[in-house]
């Protein structure tokens, strides 16, 4: 599991350790991990030119101590102090003692090999300040290693108010922060490298499942079970107008993770032709998937499915009929445009603050909300969020959402909670796209077809 904690949680954990350890220990741990990451990025220290951007707080202190370590390894290290007269004094002394130097500005200077962004970390408020904006703009094109977070992003929300640092690598300490997982800030982090500094942390409000977590949650058949004990998922998706959505939704449901798939939508002839294993017609199920390509019938399909009292996945056209709290366990699977319509806001607002809007929708509809995107968010009422980061950009392709809805429905029918079904379903979906595409394009049927391969790899002994 990758856990992302809030600034408040990090500060509380840091406070406990600060009391227990000799002064400066945590910062030395952080700075030494940072220095190793910079050396690794540069492929060595000797002869490399490093520019530190140093703000007024401990984030700047980390940069200065790491700069001292890099200077000791033969790098030419310069520091630009952006915090006015306020700077981490001991860090600066350490840098100067190792032969580093302070520069007054960067205009006209040779561009460095790497910039270390120590402008601001978890103590940052608002975006970058104008002096920092000018410097960052001047250095555009030089790779940046960000200290803790790229300066200018909002650490606890993943929102980005204005100009900010775009890092190639972000070196963070103790735990991930929410900005490392949640877009748009996560896009500015580059590769995130976590340095353990020994913090003892409470459960994380935001997390990202890793392969071993998904493997542990996969529904595996009981040796004494049969198809009904494994669960039956029903699909009410597709219509005369959009028959393909019904087929793709069934493809996602019919990857073998559940004992049986039942289809009760408006594209039964095509579904039956493509999926002879599917039982056509209404009947008992453990979960319904409603709405993908459902057209005008989606509202009726939703009402019928709610009346069955079983857990639901509500997708696409079905979402338009969700107007208040749902009375059954449910997983809603909107993209940003659909979520914007459900909340009565602009799509751009959702894209700028996906975490805030996914959480708001989870509260408003008393359901788990899976907001599709580069980093898909699965938010449950109460605020816990799983982020899926494994999908390649190729997955943004027509019909892939229908496959996802069916896949999540199968997991629900197999007994997973809506939160786990969304987190595991979106992970399998992303991993299947990566597997099927192998670095290249995929289509929605390829994604569904690759799910069993992904599950097989997860269940192989090395993963369990
Ligand atoms: N916690 C831990 O476990 C560990 C933490 N460690 C490190 O400490 C960092 C946190 O340090 P911190 O608390 O000193 O805050 P930090 O981010 O340096 O900034 C605060 C200063 O910046 C200023 N400022 C505010 N907004 C600004 C802006 N937009 N643009 C520019 N300046 C702005 C504000 O001053 P102001 O100018 O507002 O008076 C304030 O003085 C953390 O990220 C990690 O790197 C590790 O060493 C060890 C383990
Ligand atoms: K920073």
The annotation status of 59 as a binding-site residue, yes or no, is yes
pTM of the model: 0.97
Dist. CA 274–CA 155, nearest whole Å: 47
Structural domains of the chain in order of their starting residue, each with its CATH number: 2-204 (3.40.50.10260), 211-463 (3.40.1190.20)
CB-CB contact of 346 with 327 (8 Å):
no
pLDDT at res. 461: 77
* DSSP-derived secondary structure letter, 394: G
Q: Which of 18, 25, 59, 130 to mutate to test the pocket of ligand 1 (most atoms within 8 A of CB)?
A: 59
Determine how many CB atoms are found less than 10 A away from the CB of residue 425.
32
The annotation status of 335 as a binding-site residue, yes or no, is yes
What are 24-46's pLDDT values in tens digits? 899 999 999 999 999 999 999 99
Measure CA 184 to chain center: 10
- Ligand number nearest CA of 55 is 1
What are 139-177's pLDDT values in tens digits? 999 999 999 999 999 999 999 989 999 999 999 999 999
- Ligand number nearest CA of 133 is 1
Dist. CA 387–CA 365, nearest whole Å: 20
CB-CB contact of 55 with 149 (8 Å):
no
Which ligand 1 atom sits closest to the C-alpha of 174? Answer: 3
CB-based pocket (< 6 A), ligand 1: 10-11, 14, 26-27, 30, 55-60, 62, 119-126, 128-129, 147-148, 173-174, 197
Dist. CA 335–CA 441, nearest whole Å: 21
The rounded Å distance from CA 53 to ligand 2 centre is 9
The rounded Å distance from CA 170 to ligand 2 centre is 8
pLDDT at res. 464: 46
* Nearest alpha carbon, ligand 1 atom 21: 57
The annotation status of 148 as a binding-site residue, yes or no, is yes
The annotation status of 372 as a binding-site residue, yes or no, is yes
Cα–Cα distance list, 102 to 47, 53, 56, 68 (Å)? 18, 10, 14, 12
Q: Which one, of 280, 271, 258, lies nearest residue 425 by Cα?
A: 258
The annotation status of 402 as a binding-site residue, yes or no, is yes
- φ/ψ (deg, to 5) at 24: 85, -5
Name the stretches of the chain with pLDDT < 70: 463-464
* Nearest alpha carbon, ligand 1 atom 47: 27
pLDDT at res. 104: 94
CB-CB contact of 464 with 268 (8 Å):
no
* Nearest alpha carbon, ligand 1 atom 26: 124
- Ligand number nearest CA of 162 is 1
pLDDT at res. 422: 98
Q: Which of 120, 131, 163 to mutate to test the pocket of ligand 1 (most atoms within 8 A of CB)?
A: 120
Which ligand 1 atom sits closest to the C-alpha of 120? Answer: 17
The rounded Å distance from CA 156 to ligand 1 centre is 14
The rounded Å distance from CA 383 to ligand 1 centre is 26
- Ligand number nearest CA of 131 is 1
The rounded Å distance from CA 163 to ligand 1 centre is 18
pLDDT at res. 463: 56
Sign of the torsion angle spanned by Cα atoms 346, 347, 352, 354: positive
The rounded Å distance from CA 398 to ligand 1 centre is 44
pLDDT at res. 18: 86
Q: Which residue carries 């029903």 as its tokens?
A: 234
The annotation status of 3 as a binding-site residue, yes or no, is no
The rounded Å distance from CA 149 to ligand 2 centre is 5
ipTM: 0.98
* Cα 189–Cα 166–Cα 12 angle in degrees, nearest 5: 45
């Amino acid at each position: 599991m990758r856990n992302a904690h809030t600034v408040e949680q990090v500060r509380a954990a840091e406070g406990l350790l600060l009391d227990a350890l000799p002064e400066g220990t945590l910062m030395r741990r952080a700075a030494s991990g940072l220095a190793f990451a910079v050396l690794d990025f540069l492929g060595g220290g000797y002869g490399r030119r490093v520019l530190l951007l140093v703000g007024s707080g401990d984030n700047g202190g980390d940069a200065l101590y790491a700069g001292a370590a890099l200077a000791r390894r033969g790098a030419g290290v310069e520091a630009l102090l952006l915090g006015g007269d306020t700077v981490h004094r001991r860090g600066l002394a350490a840098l100067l003692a190792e032969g580093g130097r302070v520069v007054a500005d960067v205009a006209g200077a040779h561009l460095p090999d790497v910039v270390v962004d120590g402008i601001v970390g978890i103590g940052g408020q608002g975006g970058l300040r104008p002096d920092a904006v000018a410097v960052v703009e001047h250095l555009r094109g030089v790779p940046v290693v960000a200290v803790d977070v790229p300066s200018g992003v909002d650490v606890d929300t993943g929102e980005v108010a204005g100009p900010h640092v775009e890092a190639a690598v972000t070196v963070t300490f103790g735990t991930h922060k929410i900005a490392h997982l949640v877009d748009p800030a996560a896009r500015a982090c580059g590769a995130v490298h976590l340095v353990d500094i020994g913090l003892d942390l409470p459960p994380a409000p935001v997390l990202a499942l890793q392969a071993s977590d998904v493997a542990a949650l996969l529904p595996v058949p009981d040796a004494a079970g049969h198809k009904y004990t494994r669960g039956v998922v029903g699909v009410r998706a597709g219509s005369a107008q959009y028959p393909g959505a019904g087929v793709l939704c069934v493809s996602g449901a019919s990857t073998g993770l559940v004992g049986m798939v039942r289809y009760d939508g408006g594209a039964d002839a095509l579904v039956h032709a493509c999926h002879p294993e599917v039982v056509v017609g209404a009947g008992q199920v453990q979960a319904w998937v409603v709405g993908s390509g459902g057209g005008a019938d989606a509202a009726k399909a939703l009402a019928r499915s709610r009346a069955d009292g079983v857990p639901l996945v509500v997708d696409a056209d079905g979402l338009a009929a969700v107007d208040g709290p749902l009375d059954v366990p449910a997983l809603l699977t909107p993209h940003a445009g659909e979520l914007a319509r459900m909340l009565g806001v602009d799509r751009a607002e959702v894209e700028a603050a996906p975490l805030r809007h996914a959480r708001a929708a989870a509260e408003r509809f008393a359901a788990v909300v899976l907001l599709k995107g580069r980093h898909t968010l699965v938010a449950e009422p109460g605020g816990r969020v799983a982020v899926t980061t494994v999908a390649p950009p190729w997955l943004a392709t027509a019909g892939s959402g229908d496959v996802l809805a069916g896949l999540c429905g199968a997991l629900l029918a197999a007994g997973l909670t809506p939160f786990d079904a969304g987190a595991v379903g979106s992970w399998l979906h992303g991993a299947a796209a990566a597997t099927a595409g192998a670095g290249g394009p995929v289509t929605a049927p390829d994604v569904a077809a690759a799910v069993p391969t992904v599950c097989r790899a997860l269940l192989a002994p090395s993963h369990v």
